[in-house]
């Protein structure tokens, strides 16, 4: 190791036995125009720079200029070539280096070699801080004023008193940002100007992420969906667009919001939805598409389509083909491979006397049914036997039969009656709500209870709750009055009711109308179809296969279909005179199996989903239809005639 000896100084680490007459370097270190806070001399072996020693040189604290002498002796293991570096620090040995002088010299073998190291720095105001100017700047930003230096107190006086960040650290000082686009927000990417007062073109509020566009600044919502941050919150296209936020796309598919134009977003999913199907006709097989879904499809929906005709409970992918004019098994063929299937094999059974006119018919299982007509005639049918019930004086207009064979009938005089096939004697009449004709009815069974809904010519919707075997029965009651001449009512449940008839526009003027009843979610009766104001026609009959498949017929060829929620006009029945017939009644077993009777002809008409054709021509006019299925069709009319197709 080398040893640094300061002549006249007390330097530790020097060996006492070093001979005083050995070769040495006398280093004279001078400084002027400042008072060093710390003065050091560093000796480094030129041949091996890892050999180095540093010693602090003692100074006279009050001296602004001085010369200090340090003796540097040679040492075993070191070369004779040395580099001497004198360094001055501001304020202390940890302060900034404000002056440095370095020389290379050689230790003589004997004697003394003298070198000069001169340190220069400026502290003109003698405040203990060296000027920032020069090769080794100090920390005094104004060397002409002793009150300005890093230890001074910053004041809001337009001067950087403590040489640190302008006036920003003064009481009342602040950071100001350049506002090039004049939108009131400074450039967040620029260095702030620290001042007590805003410089020209600067503003107190920063945060502007695009100082070239005055429309872009903080404290606003995103105004355009463009993949940019319009409100400088470091989030692109957030509120109100919420791009990147998870969402639920169509079909309950998980997705994220993406821009879809400058002002819109779309929920985009990468998951592929699947098609789902519902069973609308109640046959246990689904065939109505409810669209594409990833999750939570409508209640009851399945992914397999097994029904080619959701308008008919007699058709599905697993049904057996029977003789009924329908493609029961969904193979595209009708009544194929069914032996002795004759669509024209209709049977006629006439009641006596021949003056009987049947206005209503209600069939039930076992080739049984009921007939009602003018002059108080009611008859029960069992196979080929028609038994007329005596003493039922009202003209019977409408009927419905329960699975037990109990029939309910409504009269043109506003009366109800009900009876079982085993009942004898006169009919028991039950008062309706007035003398308005009860034109249509439909019932729903629940155990031994029946909820019978009826309509009358005064527009009333009537409910009669009947309990089999009860000692007393509730009286029929009014649910609502629509003030139309209602002619027919039907539904698959109390929540899928439809009623049809004529709206009273003015005295003597009517137009066709269809009403829909409350759903399971509640509501009121709502008008769904209304004819034109000058249209002198009305509906006679309505049949509901499901809420999505409803058929209504009326005067002058009126024939409408409700598919889903949309009503469309279907082909009329045309008479030989090329005029549309009044379609007076219908029964429907599917969109491709509808039977009707009309004015102007005795024909029983059949609609196959596309066109009407004659199914059979009885010898007398037909007035009413019923049936338990497409292979059990009943038609009744004048001359006591009952016509049936039961292949």
| Burial bucket for residue 633 (CB in 10 Å: 0-12, 13-18, 19+) | buried
Cα Dmax for the chain: 166
Residue 439 near residue 456 (C-beta atoms within 8 A)? yes
* Among 306, 311, 302, residue whose Cα is nearest residue 275: 302
Q: Is the pLDDT of residue 1 over 50?
A: no
- Which residues does 159 contact at the CB level (< 8 Å), separation at least 6? 142, 148, 167
- List, in order, residues 6 or more apart from 144 with CB less than 8 Å away: 124, 125
Mean pLDDT of 294-318: 93
Would you place residue 534 in the very low, low, confident or very high pLDDT band (cuts 50, 70, 90)? low
pLDDT score, position 494: 97
CA distance 179 to 186: 4
pLDDT band at 136; cut points 50, 70, 90? very high
Lowest mean pLDDT among 26-40, 166-180, 225-239, 414-428: 166-180
**Alpha-carbon gap, residue 203 to 176, rounded angstroms:** 5
Q: What pLDDT is recorded for position 20?
A: 42
Residue 263 pLDDT grade (very low, low, confident, very high; cuts 50, 70, 90): confident
CA distance 536 to 373: 27
Quote the CA–CA distance of 504 and 483 in Å, as a whole number. Answer: 7
- Confidence band (pLDDT; 50, 70, 90) for 509? confident
Cα(129)–Cα(149) distance, integer angstroms: 7
**pLDDT on residue 185:** 96
Whole-number Å distance between alpha carbons of 456 and 483:
10
Q: Burial of 390 by CB count in 10 Å (0-12 exposed, 13-18 middle, 19+ buried)? A: exposed
Tokens 């509730």 correspond to what residue? 474
What pTM was computed for the model? 0.65
Picking from 355, 357, 383, the residue whose alpha carbon sits closest to that of residue 371 is 357
CB–CB of 279/271 below 8 Å? no
Q: pLDDT band for 357, please (50, 70, 90 cuts).
A: very high
458-500 pLDDT, tens digit each: 999 999 999 999 999 999 999 999 989 999 999 999 999 999 9
Beta bridge pairs of residue 506: 509
Separation CA 294–CA 297 (nearest Å): 8
pLDDT at 138: 95
> 543 by DSSP, 3-state: which?
strand
Q: Tokens for 537, please give them.
A: 């026609």
Residue 55's alpha-carbon distances to 10, 134, 482, in angstroms, are 11, 25, 114
- Of 647, 639, 636, the closest CA to residue 381 belongs to 636
Reduced to 3 states (helix: H, G, I; strand: E, B; else coil), residue 499 is strand
Tell me which of 286-300, 464-478, 484-498, 598-612 is least confident: 286-300
Highest mean pLDDT among 2-6, 51-55, 261-265: 51-55
Report DSSP state, residue 479: E
Q: What is the pLDDT of residue 6?
A: 37
**Cβ(4)–Cβ(11) below 8 Å:** yes
**Beta partners for residue 70, in sequence order:** 27
DSSP string spanning 16-81?
A: TTS-TTB-EEEEEEEEESS--SEEEEEEEESS-TT-EEEEEPP--TT-SSEEEEEEEE--TTS-SE
pLDDT at 4 over 60: no
How far, in Å, CA of 629 to CA of 614, rounded? 19
């Amino acid at each position: 190791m080398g040893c640094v000896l300061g002549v006249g100084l007390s330097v530790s680490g020097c060996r006492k036995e070093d001979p005083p007459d050995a070769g040495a370097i006398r280093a004279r270190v001078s400084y002027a125009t400042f008072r060093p806070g710390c003065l050091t001399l560093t000796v480094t072996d030129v041949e091996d720079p890892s050999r180095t020693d540093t010693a602090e040189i003692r100074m006279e604290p009050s001296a602004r200029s001085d010369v200090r002498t340090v003796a540097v002796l040679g040492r075993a293991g070191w070369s004779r070539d040395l580099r001497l570096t004198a360094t001055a620090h501001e304020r202390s040995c940890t302060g900034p280096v404000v002056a440095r002088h370095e020389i290379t010299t050689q230790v003589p073998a004997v004697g003394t070699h003298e070198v000069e190291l001169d340190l220069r720095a400026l502290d003109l105001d003698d405040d203990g801080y060296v000027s920032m100017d020069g090769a080794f700047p100090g920390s005094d930003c104004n060397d002409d004023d002793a009150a300005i230096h890093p230890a001074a107190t910053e004041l809001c006086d337009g001067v950087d008193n403590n040489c640190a960040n302008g006036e920003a650290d003064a009481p009342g000082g602040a950071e100001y940002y350049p506002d090039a686009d004049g939108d009131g927000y400074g450039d967040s990417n620029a260095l702030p100007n620290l001042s007590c007062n805003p410089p020209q073109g600067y503003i107190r509020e920063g945060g502007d992420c695009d100082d070239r566009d005055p429309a872009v600044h903080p404290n606003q919502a995103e105004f355009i969906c463009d993949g940019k941050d319009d409100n400088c919150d470091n989030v692109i296209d957030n509120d109100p667009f919420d791009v990147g936020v998870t969402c639920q796309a169509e079909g309950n598919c998980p997705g994220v919001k993406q821009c879809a134009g400058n002002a819109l977003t779309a929920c985009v999913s990468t998951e592929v939805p699947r098609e789902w199907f519902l069973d609308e006709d109640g046959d246990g097989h689904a065939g109505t598409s409810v669209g594409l879904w990833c999750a939570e499809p409508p209640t009851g929906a399945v992914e397999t389509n097994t029904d080619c005709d959701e308008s008919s409970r007699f058709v599905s992918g697993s049904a057996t083909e029977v003789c009924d004019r329908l493609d029961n098994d969904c193979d595209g063929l009708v009544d194929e491979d069914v032996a002795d299937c004759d669509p024209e094999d209709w049977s006629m059974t006439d009641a006596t006397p021949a003056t009987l006119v049947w206005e209503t018919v209600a069939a039930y299982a076992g080739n049984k049914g009921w007939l009602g007509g003018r002059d108080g005639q009611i008859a029960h049918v069992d196979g080929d036997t028609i038994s007329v019930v005596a003493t039922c004086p009202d003209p019977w207009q409408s009927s419905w039969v329960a699975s037990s064979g109990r029939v309910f009938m409504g009269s043109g005089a506003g009366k109800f009656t009900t009876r079982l096939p085993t009942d004898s004697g006169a009919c028991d009449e039950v008062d309706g709500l007035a003398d308005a004709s009860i034109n249509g009815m439909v019932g729903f069974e629940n155990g031994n209870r029946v909820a019978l809904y009826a309509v009358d010519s005064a527009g009333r919707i009537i409910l009669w709750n009947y309990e089999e075997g009860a000692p007393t029965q509730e009286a029929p009651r009014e649910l609502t009055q629509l003030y139309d001449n209602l002619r027919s009512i039907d539904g698959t449940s109390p929540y899928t009711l439809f009623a049809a008839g004529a709206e009273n526009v003015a005295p003597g003027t009517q137009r066709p109308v269809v009403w829909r009843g409350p759903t399971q979610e509640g509501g009121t009766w709502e008008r769904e179809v209304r004819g034109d104001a000058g249209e002198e026609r009305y509906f006679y009959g309505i049949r509901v296969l499901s809420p999505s498949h409803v058929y209504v017929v009326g005067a002058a060829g009126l024939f409408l279909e409700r598919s889903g929620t949309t009503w469309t006009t279907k082909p009329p029945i045309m008479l030989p005179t090329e005029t549309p017939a009044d379609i007076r009644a219908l029964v429907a077993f599917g969109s491709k199996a509808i039977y009707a009777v009309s004015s102007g002809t005795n024909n029983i008409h059949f609609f196959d989903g596309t066109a009407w054709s004659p199914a059979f021509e009885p010898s007398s006019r037909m007035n009413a239809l019923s049936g338990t299925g497409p292979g059990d069709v009943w038609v009744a009319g004048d001359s006591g005639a009952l016509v049936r197709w039961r292949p």
